[in-house]
Structure 1
Amino acid sequence: MRASPALSLRMDAAFGKTQVAEAPEEATGTVIFLHGLGDTGSGWTKMRDTISVPHVKFLCPTAPTREVSVCDGMSMPAWFDIDGLSPSELRSDSDGIQRSVDHVLKIVDEEIASGTPSDRIVIAGFSQGGNIALAAAMQAKVPLGGAIGLSTWFPRGIADKPDPVNRKMPIFIGHGENDPIAKAEWGSKTFEYLTGIGMPTEGNIYPEMGHEFKPAQVTDLKVFINRVLGTQETVTLSKPLGMTLEEGGEDEGTVVVSGVKEGGSAAQSGAIQVGDQVLSVNGKVVKGQGFDAAMDAIIAAEGDVEVRLNRPPADRTVAWTTLSQEEQDRRLNTSGGIIKVCTDRACMNQGSKATVRWLTELTPETFSVTRCSCTGSCGKGPNVVVSGRDKEEKVVYETNSVGQAVKMLMEEFELSVDPKKVQNLINPEKNVEFGMSDELVRQGLMQTVDVRSSFAGNRF
């Protein structure tokens, strides 16, 4: 594994630089991420570390610099010109949109030529870049791994339906509830349109988020990318294969291994297990094409059969705020202070789970971090309740940030907290959600660890 994956550049005469953020481990998948209006690709290379899927590299192209009508003719990087924010004005520069789509599809072709299978490529983008990402994914003539549109709108009139090879391509749509530029309604309509034409689409509207990318999206994107670009394996089997297949999985048309026969070719390979997704057979992509397509390819194969498989990350259920009962009892019996965080239904949506989790990490064992029995009648949002031996209980209303909580701990209990530890916990690039979970379970501090995505039920 390389300690510091390099950033390199690709150039195109009409377009700006494409930053290449190499994968920390051997790359078996690629995300092409397109920036928003006025931005550049270099600003998004940190996505590699933020999303942190070690076998996936990120290509971050830069749009051409041009005059943008909606910005009074100012010159800036833009994938296409925008006259205004009405639906017709957003797509008025159809030629510019198509040029950018062609550029992205050229990058896809180059990536395939470099050895990355097309179905291991995801096209993603933010705002104006998300519009181009969705249009390019729809126009692609090769099966893609998926598409992601963040704070964006659907390119109606440019690419209304996908090419048949991508009719079951997984798509993720994310949007800020308070977006003042790309209205949340645009995200909802995009979601409704895509599901209406039968595409497997999932997504989330993020409360209290504007036209921006925030840590709230990190977990959702990591789960999505891990699923569509999971760890892959290529295995050569002799007939009979010694395994059974069925159509299943989260994405429609997915074919998975449903059984492995003891002593058969699949079992002897030692590389196949129940739940693996079949991506291709002898080079023919069958991902998303259904059971019949996979079986036809296997039957047609002469001699040995090369099967490429995707192993999705194992489902894990996590209760971030639940200490094991034994650990909680022990802390309560020995604690010098108790911190309670409101978990009223309304409060839970605003971040109190994260506060409990962070406080558990930031405080020594002599403190107990629990949930109060608030009914929500205060109407003040998330509350942190501090109490302890020989101390009067204090409620700090509307406190659901780590910074406020740490300040309160220092004032109430004279607790000294290492600033670097705080920064490591709250910095989204450190991926707190995924970095601390398993270890806490091993230590017996938590009952379960959950990485379930927040779009388990789509919120559009």
Structure 2
Amino acid sequence: MMPLAQVEVVTGTEPKGSVIWLHGLGADGWDFVPLVKELPLPEGLDLRFVFPHAPTRPVTINNGYVMRAWYDISMQDLARKPDEAGIRESQASIGDLIEREIQRGIAADKIILAGFSQGGAIALQSGLRYPQTLGGIIALSTYLTLEDSLEREGSAANKRTPIFMAHGTQDAIVPFALADASRRKLEARGYAVEWHDYPMPHSVCGEEVEAIAQWLAARFTSRILRA
């Protein structure tokens, strides 16, 4: 399996933590790069943002058109017939990216997995199953995949890892009800989910960006102070 190509942005010369941010279907790693400048992070919080490009693959629901995708989607009902092979392949690739950050001197508990839509699904899939405690998971406009396997595959190390979930009440791509059901399933299993919803479509809004920045600052401030 080839390593994922990526875009990197650092907010200081000596990053104290890393955020691995996964884009949505049909986009690429550049999609969320502009967000870094929009995040009102505290002065002196040096972070490395890693934006990987998903591999290209035919996407069934888009008439087999080849595009960047973390996994195939075959049905409008996203929760049905998941592409388990593609999901697990992407999970392994993200695990490799986490290991790379650890090798670069960033402890696992100072690494955040983030993602939008398909990327958010892989962030949840990968983060909840990763064997070392991570700093947190950001899951935007997304849903829980392979939920039936989470009970046996979920990592005890990440059972208490903070999760930030946000969704638009007018989302026509990933239905709000599916995201809300995913949140409830996570909470029923004891995961700590901070939930936000906004009157928006399948997108990210300014209020959401502010909330993400506050959440990131809280995660990294507590981790760095304990280092």
TM-score when normalising by structure 1: 0.46
Distance in 1 of aligned mates of 2:208 and 2:219: 17
- 1:41·1:62 contact (CA, 8 Å) conserved in 2? yes
| Residues 1:57 and 2:45 are matched in the alignment | no
**Alignment of 1:13 onto 2:5:** no
Looking at structure 2, the residues matched to 102 and 231 of structure 1 have their Cα atoms a distance apart, in angstroms, of 28
* Alignment correspondent of 1:27: 15
Equivalence for 1:166: 158
User: Using the alignment, how far apart are the partners of 1:157 and 1:14 within structure 2?
Assistant: 28
Given that residues 121 and 142 in structure 2 are in contact (C-alpha distance below 8 angstroms), is that contact kept between their aligned partners in structure 1? yes
The amino acid across from 2:22 in the alignment is L
Preserved CA contact (<8 Å) 1:21 1:57: yes
Partners of 1:100 and 1:170 in 2: CA distance? 22
Deviation of residue 47 (structure 1)?
2.3
Give the aligned CA root-mean-square deviation in angstroms.
1.7
Give the SS at the match of 2:126.
helix
- Give how far 1:202 is off: 0.6
Deviation at 1:26, TM superposition (A): 2.5
Alpha carbons of structure 1 residues 28 and 191: separation in structure 2 relative to 1, 3 Å: same
Comparing 56-65 with 21-30, greater Cα deviation is found at 21-30
The residue that corresponds to 1:40 in the other structure is 28
Partner deviation per Cα, 1:320-339 (whole Å, 9 max, x = no partner): xxxxxxxxxxxxxxxxxxxx
Equivalent residue runs for 1:198-277 within 5 Å: 198-207=190-199, 209-230=200-221
Per-residue CA deviation, residues 233-285 of structure 1 (Å, 9 max, x unaligned), is 5xxxxxxxxxxxxxxxxxxxxxxxxxxxxxxxxxxxxxxxxxx6x4xxxxxxx
3-state SS in 1 of match to 2:8:
strand
Structure 2 residue aligned with 1:127:
117
Query: In the TM superposition, what is the alpha-carbon distance from 1:84 to its structure 2 partner?
Result: 1.1
Q: Which residue of 2 aligns with 1:190?
A: 182
Superposition deviation, residue 153 in structure 1: 0.4
* Contact 2:17–2:46 (CA under 8 A) maintained in structure 1: yes
CA contact (8 A) 2:3 2:93 kept: no
SS in 1 for 2:137: strand
Amino acid at match of 1:192: R
Q: What is the Cα deviation at residue 55 of structure 1?
A: 1.6
Larger radius of gyration: 1
CA distance in 2, matches of 1:36, 1:220: 20
In the superposition, the TM-score normalised over structure 2's length comes to: 0.92
Q: In structure 2, what is the equivalent of residue 116 of structure 1? A: 106
Cα gap change, 1:14 to 1:30, in 2 (>3 Å):
closer
Structure 2 unaligned runs (5+)? none
Rounded Cα–Cα distance in structure 2 between residues aligned with 1:57 and 1:114? 11
Structure that is richer in helix per residue: 2
State the alpha-carbon separation in 1 of the partners of residues 149 and 70 from structure 2: 14
Structure 1 stretches of 5 or more lacking a match?
Answer: 1-11, 234-275, 279-307, 309-460
Cα distance in 1 between the residues matched to 2:53 and 2:104: 20
Whether the 8 Å contact between 1:47 and 1:58 is mirrored in structure 2 is: no
Contact 2:10 2:46 survives alignment (8 Å): no
2-side partners of 1:110 and 1:189: how far apart? 33
Q: Which residue identity lines up with residue 117 of structure 2 in the other structure?
A: S
Identity of aligned residues (%): 29
CA separation in 2, counterparts of 1:84 and 1:185?
A: 17
Show the counterpart of 2:138. 148
CA distance in 2, matches of 1:62, 1:110: 16
Give the C-alpha shift of residue 14 in structure 1.
6.2
Q: What is the CA-CA distance between 1:157 and the residue it aligns to?
A: 3.3
Q: What is the aligned counterpart of 1:84 among 71, 75, 80? A: 75
